[in-house]
Amino acid sequence: MKIKILVIAILFITSCSSIQKSDNVISLNTLIEKSKLDYKIRSLPKEIHLFFLQTEEVSSLPAEVQGFVTNSYHYNSEISYRPQILLFPMKNGECIVQESNADLNVVFYLSTKKNNTSLKKCFQKLPKSKTLFISKNSDNFGFDSAFIVSREEEKRKLIKEMEAFADKFIVIDEINNIDNDSVMRLLKEEEKQIIGSKTFNYAESSQDFFSEILKVNRSKERLRKLSRRISKPIEGNLRIREDVNSFFFSINLEQARNLKPALDYVSERNFNIFILNSWESNDYYKYVEKDLNGSVHSDFPIMMPIEMPKFISDEKRSREFAIGYDTYEIILLKYGSVKTRNHTYKGLSGKINIQGNEIKRSAYLFEINQTGIEIL
């Protein structure tokens, strides 16, 4: 069923003019920037069909659709572009795609599941030349024009640009996000030495977890044995393994705030810590993250404590909202501008460059220190 777009409460405040303009210094205030280009209004699609996944239990619009609508509302007044947007919720994976006469079909497939055969057949009904496909994984479902927003970009960015002296790694992932094989493969490609890997279970103690990894208990056992042998109590510093200088965490932000201090406490050493958010939740970074001091991350700008447009409240701060918001911007750049060749749009999901059908997104790398977040 076609549902005409409703201008709901999320759209009641003015536009993105509050987004800071960039300068020559990369900082939190210069990460996002709307494109200052002239658009050919007549070249832009007049009717857009928006397809998205939705469960029966949820009645509100998904965050990606809210982001798309929010950016659309801004441009209504900025460039007098008012496309007719029709919504097609695909509830519980139901295929509702029929012959479409829209100028542009936009498909949000933000499930992390790959090789969905039924939906793949469903989407094949859409004309490739008039469809923009947005996905969270590497599968573009055969569409030539696709905006792939995969966590692999952040993973590669983090591993590719880590310091040369961070070369002996232990990889930590979590039970809801077991991807240590993928991380270790990329580390080996960068000629890093893998000392070991382990999956953290939420039920176990984080201090016991690292005591086992760093072999602290073996040091305690040696002291006890020596004490019994000479029949005298012995005091000494616990020794931890010395064949590791770096840790790679592939976990959610909440667990990172738990595990990093535990590692610091058990080891009493400053390891190189690289943290890749699992994307299992939309927890965002605070201005001061004392528990994560000294760690290096890669993530969406919207998840950092940046100055956002006033109409994007904390409740709407999510990667899905950023993807929808940036998708609308991509439509303007792709179909309405002639100057996109060397143009980089600084979006809520990262830096985006468009070359024909190819849409590339680049992630940011940042370090958390005592004073806040520093973009690297």
The mean pLDDT value for 132-153 works out to: 89
> For residues 284 and 264, what is the distance between their CA atoms, to the nearest angstrom?
22
pLDDT band at residue 348 under the 50/70/90 scheme: very high
Determine contact, residues 31/304, Cβ cutoff 8 Å. yes
Average pLDDT estimate for 164-184: 95
What confidence tier does 347 reach under pLDDT thresholds 50, 70, 90?
A: very high
Helix orientation angle between 216-230 and 206-213, rounded to the nearest 10 degrees: 70
Residue 19 to residue 325: CA distance in whole angstroms:
13
Q: Where are the alpha helices (DSSP H) in the chain?
A: 63-78, 117-123, 151-160, 180-189, 206-213, 216-230, 253-267, 319-336
Query: How confident is the model at residue 115, as a pLDDT?
Result: 63
At 52 the three-state DSSP class reads: strand
206-215 pLDDT, tens digit per residue, is 999 998 899 8
Distances (CA, A) of 88 to 52, 53, 131, 291, 328: 7, 9, 14, 43, 17
From residue 300, give the alpha-carbon distance in Å to each of 178, 193, 216, 276, 281.
21, 28, 36, 11, 13
Residue 203 buriedness (CB in 10 A; 0-12 / 13-18 / 19+)? exposed
Which residue from 196, 174, 166 is spatially nearest to 184, judged by alpha carbons? 196
The domains located in the chain, with CATH, are: 3-150+307-361 (3.40.50), 153-303+368-375 (3.40.50.2300)
- Give how far Cα 330 sits from Cα of 68, 74, 133, 359, Å: 11, 14, 12, 8
Query: Could you say which DSSP state residue 249 is in?
Result: E
pLDDT digits (tens, 9 = 90+) for 30-49: 899 888 888 899 999 999 99
State the average pLDDT over residues 200-204: 90
Token reading at 261: 């201090």
pTM for this model (two decimals) = 0.86
The whole-number pLDDT of residue 217 equals 57
